[in-house]
Structure 1
Amino acid sequence: MQGRIETAMRRAIDAARERGNCLPNPTVGCVVLDADGVEVGVGATVRQGAHAEIEALAAAGERARGGTAVVTLEPCRHVGNTGPCTEALIRAGVARVVVAQTDPHPEAGGGADVLRAAGIEVETGVLADEAEPHNRAWRFAVTHGRPFVTWKYAATLDGLSAAPDGSSKWITGPDARRDVQQYRSQCDAIVAGTGAVLADDPRLTVRDADDLPLPYELQPLRVVVGESTIPNYYRVFDRVAPTLMIQSREPEEVLAKLAENHVKHVWLEGGPRLAGGFWKAGLIDRVIGYIAPSMLGSGRAALEGEAATLADLRPIQIDDLRMIGPDIRIVGTPGQAPRETYV
C-alpha cells in the first residue's frame, strides 16, 4: 500500500505544479484513493477558489468513504475561500489522510490534530522534500513575516547590465526572456525602482509565449519604489495589471508595505541601486542571473554597493546552472551577509 501512497503523492505534487501559482495562498494538490487503494479523485487548489481537497472529494463522491486522501499540504482548519478542508474530509468519511508537509500558518495549521480527534488516521512527512519547492516562498513568508525575495538580473560576461548611455535592452536573447516569464509567473509582486522605470518604460507583467499579457487576475502586483514621479502615460499604469507605488527605497519599509498587501513572493528587478539596497540589508533570498556571451567594457554594474575589500565578499550557493539558448542561467542562494552590513 505504501507504494500506492507514494505514487498518489507524486500525482498530487504534479497536479499542484500543473495548476500553478496560487499566491498569496499555498499551492496544493490532492489525490483521493478508495478503500481498495484505487485513485478516484484528483484536485489542486484554484487561485482565489476551491482548495485541492474540495476538488478531489467532489470528483471522488461516495467512493471517498473509507478511503485515503493524499495531500501535499496539511488540510486547513479555518474558513477561507472555502470552508475548512478538515470538515470536508470528515464529512466525506475518509479513513486516512496522508500529508507531505505540515502547515505553519497560525490560523490554518493544525488540521492534522482536528482530523485525529475525529478518529481519522493521519500520517505526515511523506515525500516532504519533493513537495517542498512548490511552497518554498509561501512557507518562508508565513514563518518570517515578510515576502520571500528573488532578485533577477541580466548581465554581460564582464558583469555589466547597462551601457554607459543607460541603454540595457536587450542584453540576453529571446530564450532567456521567455524563461524569465516562467519565473515571474511564480511570484505575486514584481518590484522595480523609479529610475529603471523612467529609463526603460517596462511593462512589469507576465506574458505568454506569444508575448501577450496573461489575464489581469493572473498578473502579479506591479510595484514601483522610489521618490521620483512617473508620468501617468508610462506602461506601468496601463490596465493590464494592478500597480502599487511605494515612495521609499528602504528595503524593510518596502517589504513591510508588501506584507500588508498579503504579498508572499517578490520578484526584484529593474535597477542596480535598488538591488544593492536589498543586498546590503541581507534581504535577497534567491538570485537568478542571466549571463550573456558578450562584453561591454564599460557601463553600469548589475549591483551597486559599498564593498571596500574582498572581506566584503558574500558567497552564493549555486543551486542550478544551465544554458538557456546562448545565455547562461545561474540560480543561487545567498550565504550569510557580513556582520557590518547590518549596522
Structure 2
Amino acid sequence: MSAAARLASRGRPLSRPNPAVGCIIVKDGVVVGRGWTDKGGRPHAEAIALEEAGDKAQGATAYVTLEPCAHASKRGPACSDLLAEARPARVVIGVTDPDPRTAGDGAERLRNAGITVDLIDSAEAEASLEGYLSRALRGRPHVTLKLAMSLDGCIAMEDGTSQWITGEEARAHVHSRRAMSDAILVGGATWRLDKPRLDVRLEGLEDRSPQRVLLSRGVPPDGVKVINDPAQIAQLGDVQYLYVEGGASAAASFLAADLVDRLEIYCAPILIGNGRPALGDIGLGSLAEAHGRWAFEETRQLGSDTFTAYRRIQQEDQA
C-alpha cells in the first residue's frame, strides 16, 4: 500500500478534478500491474493497472489507495466492475471513498463478486489523498503554508528586499512543491512588491504551474483569481491542494483562521536582525494556546538551508 501511495503522487495535481489514486497488482510475489490516475482524471489507476496485468490479474491481489468507484460515468466504466471482471482473489483498500456515489458500494460490489476485500485504513494512502479528502469532508482544499526565513525569523530586510533568503537547492525544492499543487496564493503586498511569477520553472514540469490566486481586495490581474478572505478558498472550484507562499500578513491570516494543514519552513543559516518578521498576529490569546498544534513530519538538508515540515494536529488526533 505504501508503494501504491507513492505511485499516486505521480498523478498529482494533473488528475483533477478526480483524486490521484495509486494501484498495484501483485501475483505470486511479483508486481504484474501498476497504475495511477491519468491527466484529467481518466483512465483511473485501477484501469491502467489491470490493462498492464492482463490475464495475470486473475487470482492476484490488488492494492488500491482509494475504494474503487462504483458509479457509472460517460468517461469510463466503474473500477469496481473492472476489478470484478478481472477476478483478483483479493482487493486491499487504503481509504473508503467519502463520495456518496461510491462510499461502501465499491467494496460491496467486489464482495458480491466473490472477491475478498480488506480495508486497512492506511495512513500512507490517506496522506496521498489529503487534498481530495479535505475537499470532500471539509469543503475546502488542503492548505500548505510555506515560509522561507532567516535563523532569526525574518523573511526580508527592513526595506522589503527578500531575494534571496535561501539558496538554489531550496528554491528548486519550492518549485517541486508548486508542481504538486493545484493553486498557489500570495497576498496583495507580496504581489505588488515582488511581482512573483508563481509558476514552475523545473525542466519537464512547466505544464504543472498552478492556478495563481491573490488574497486582496483589489482588481484581479489577468489570469489571476482574487479572494478577499481566507475562508473563500472553499470557492476555488476543483482545487484540492492550495500552496500559500505569503507574505507575512497572508500567512498570519491563514493561521489565525486555522486553515493551514501543513507548515513547510525553509531556514537559511543567516541573521538579518532588524528585518521583516515571518508572521504577524495569528490570534493567540496566551502562550499555552501555541502548544499542541503542530506535529513534526520531516526534515532534510537542501544545500546550506534546512527544510522542515509540520502537520496541524487536529482535535481527532488528540482524542
Q: Is the partner of 1:175 in helix, strand or coil?
A: helix
Unaligned runs of 5+ in 1: 1-8, 238-242, 338-343
Q: Is the partner of 2:246 in helix, strand or coil?
A: coil
1:6 match: none
The CA distance in 2 between the partners of 1:174 and 1:270, in whole Å, is 19
Instruction: Report the AA paired with residue 68 of structure 2.
Output: P
Residues 1-343 of structure 1 aligned to structure 2 (within 5 Å): 9-21=1-13, 22-33=15-26, 38-48=30-40, 49-79=42-72, 81-110=75-104, 111-125=106-120, 128-208=122-202, 210=203, 214-215=206-207, 218-229=208-219, 237=222, 243-248=223-228, 250-253=229-232, 255-258=233-236, 261-305=237-281, 310-311=287-288, 313-314=290-291, 315-335=293-313
Q: Give, in angstroms, the shift of residue 107 of structure 1.
A: 2.5
- Residue deviations 1:297-339 (CA, integer Å, cap 9, x gap): 11221111155753553543222233221112121124579xx
Q: Is the partner of 1:330 in helix, strand or coil?
A: strand
- Residue deviations 1:55-79 (CA, integer Å, cap 9, x gap): 1111222333344322222111124
Cα root mean square deviation, aligned: 2.5
Q: Give, in angstroms, the shift of residue 201 of structure 1.
A: 0.9
Q: Is the partner of 2:52 in helix, strand or coil?
A: helix
Contact 2:230 2:257 in 1 (8 A): yes
Instruction: Report the AA paired with residue 313 of structure 1.
Output: A
Distance 1:83 1:152, change over 3 A: same
The CA distance in 2 between the partners of 1:71 and 1:16, in whole Å, is 10
The CA distance in 1 between the partners of 2:314 and 2:94, in whole Å, is 29
The CA distance in 1 between the partners of 2:33 and 2:288, in whole Å, is 56
- Residue deviations 1:24-73 (CA, integer Å, cap 9, x gap): 42222222345x56543222211212111111111222333344322222
- Residue deviations 1:76-105 (CA, integer Å, cap 9, x gap): 112455321011112223343222222222
The CA distance in 1 between the partners of 2:239 and 2:24, in whole Å, is 28
Contact 2:244 2:251 in 1 (8 A): yes
Instruction: Report the AA paired with residue 310 of structure 1.
Output: L
The CA distance in 2 between the partners of 1:63 and 1:322, in whole Å, is 40
1:5 match: none
The CA distance in 1 between the partners of 2:26 and 2:67, in whole Å, is 17
Bigger CA drift: 140-149 or 280-289? Answer: 140-149
Q: Is the partner of 1:269 in helix, strand or coil?
A: strand
The CA distance in 2 between the partners of 1:213 and 1:40, in whole Å, is 28
Distance 1:174 1:246, change over 3 A: same
The CA distance in 1 between the partners of 2:169 and 2:88, in whole Å, is 46
Instruction: Give the TM-score normalised by the residue count of structure 1.
Output: 0.81
Instruction: Give the TM-score normalised by the residue count of structure 2.
Output: 0.87
The CA distance in 2 between the partners of 1:107 and 1:165, in whole Å, is 54
Unaligned runs of 5+ in 2: none
Instruction: Report the AA paired with residue 290 of structure 2.
Output: L
Contact 1:190 1:266 in 2 (8 A): yes
The CA distance in 1 between the partners of 2:284 and 2:87, in whole Å, is 61
Instruction: Report the AA paired with residue 257 of structure 1.
Output: Q
- How many positions carry a matched residue from both structures? 309
Q: Give, in angstroms, the shift of residue 14 of structure 1.
A: 4.1
The CA distance in 1 between the partners of 2:94 and 2:227, in whole Å, is 41
Distance 1:295 1:37, change over 3 A: closer
Contact 1:44 1:52 in 2 (8 A): yes
Question: Percent of aligned positions with the same letter in both sequences?
Answer: 39
The CA distance in 2 between the partners of 1:328 and 1:39, in whole Å, is 36
Q: Give, in angstroms, the shift of residue 174 of structure 1.
A: 0.6
Distance 1:325 1:74, change over 3 A: same
Contact 2:32 2:52 in 1 (8 A): yes
